[in-house]
Chain A
């Protein structure tokens, strides 16, 4: 099975995180539907030229997060869960919010302050009611 995952040497994140991220992306954008068979660990390792142990680690963590399932002797598949895409999208959002929280902490800001700031920025980007409704749909 061909895979189009690309690992970057210049990316500062470890390779297993890059692989996890790209698998999540494939699922979040709908390319890999629930139940879709994903490449075997060794096939993916050979395709992206990254060690087997690294791909194994990425798959293990994806399994732990309930994103993929591995069936002995059958291969690995995207988990059959109805809300998987939503969960992945929320996960992506949480990641960005977490880094914002981290920065807020380093600057010594309170949660209320950060919340208020988020609200302000949100309103700046979507100033009219029409925009809000569009987002809520």
Chain B
């Protein structure tokens, strides 16, 4: 028995104007995976496939060891799903929803729910209709967090939130993985949130996973090099260099597999390495997407 909470192998799904796949993905217990991609890249589609809400054409999916969609009911007992377009409806209060969810899920932790009410600055007798966007997101998160599910699938949980609300949510997500049997997959285009709390990062663009690795590897390997290139010197073309911008006697190079050896190669070719910079996850993401698109269009 592995402690893999998500296993996706070669999943494909074709729509009229969009094609997902083939997608393979793994997430182990105790980890947070950040799922990063532009709008329409396929993040929500994949999350819905994991929840058994969309049938896929090809491949295999397991969530908490259960094949999806066949055993989705068993899997979902221990999965909490929050998505942007989910709404809490009706002329009822948050307390009504809390009672409702508690009646379905035996794992409901009423004491933790009360703690979350305070931490998220929510009130149980608030009318759902009167909640602001941020409060609504926090209310939905409360309803899944208090069940203490093993796996959380969160589609854009921090989008459109103010910095304080984002901080409150990230704090709760980090508290979840203090328990190493639990895991979180969350999608976002806020790369700062992803960079801060993710152990694994997966980039998706146009229905394809273009890169997936642990965060430390990403942050370590991607570097920007500033070079002085004297007249008559031609920069050697290196395999892992994804972008080279030259202007006059200056070149800026982005590599996805930095090692000091790269510096010596450029130096031997006659260029001077002025500076080697680390990149933020956002810069890595954009460079990654752009280089993959150039590759695809070639």
Contact = CB atoms under 8 A, between A and B. Distances in A.
Contacts of B211: none
B174 interface: yes
Given A51-B32, A53-B199, A14 B171 contact: no
B170 A49 contact: yes
Task: Tell which of A9, A50, A53 has the most Cβ of chain B within 10 Å.
Answer: A53
Interface stretch (A21-29, A40-48, A64-72, A84-92): A40-48
Interface in A67-110: none
B192 A45 contact: no
Contacts of B178: 42-43, 45-46
A54 interface: yes
A45 B200 CA distance: 15
A14 B192 CA distance: 13
B240 interface: no
Interface stretch (B71-79, B90-98, B212-220): B212-220
A12 B223 CA distance: 13
B175 A46 contact: yes
B135 to A, nearest CB: 21
A107 to B, nearest CB: 14
A52 interface: yes
A51 B196 contact: yes
Contacts of B23: none
Contact of B177 (A14, A15, A45, A57): A45
Nearest to A106: B274
Contacts of B278: 12, 14
A49 to B, nearest CB: 5
Task: Tell which of B167, B171, B197 has the most Cβ of chain A within 10 Å.
Answer: B197
B158 interface: no
Contacts of B52: none
B187 interface: no
Contacts of A45: 174, 177-178
B31 interface: yes
Contact of B199 (A12, A15, A49, A52): A52
Interface in B169-216: 170-171, 174-175, 177-178, 180, 192, 196-200, 214-216
Contact of B197 (A9, A12, A16, A49): A49
B30 interface: yes
A8 B3 CA distance: 33
Given A12-B278, A42-B178, A42-B180, A52 B31 contact: yes
A49 B167 CA distance: 9
A53 B197 CA distance: 9
B196 to A, nearest CB: 6
A15 B216 CA distance: 10
Contacts of B174: 45-46, 49-50
Interface of A: 9, 12, 14-16, 42-43, 45-46, 49-54, 57
Query: Would you list the 10 A-B pairs with minimal beta carbon distance, nearest first?
Result: A53-B199, A46-B174, A42-B178, A46-B178, A51-B199, A49-B174, A51-B197, A46-B175, A57-B216, A49-B170
Given A14-B278, A50-B196, A53-B31, 12 more contacts: A9-B192, A9-B196, A12-B278, A46-B174, A49-B167, A49-B196, A49-B197, A50-B197, A51-B32, A52-B31, A53-B216, A54-B216
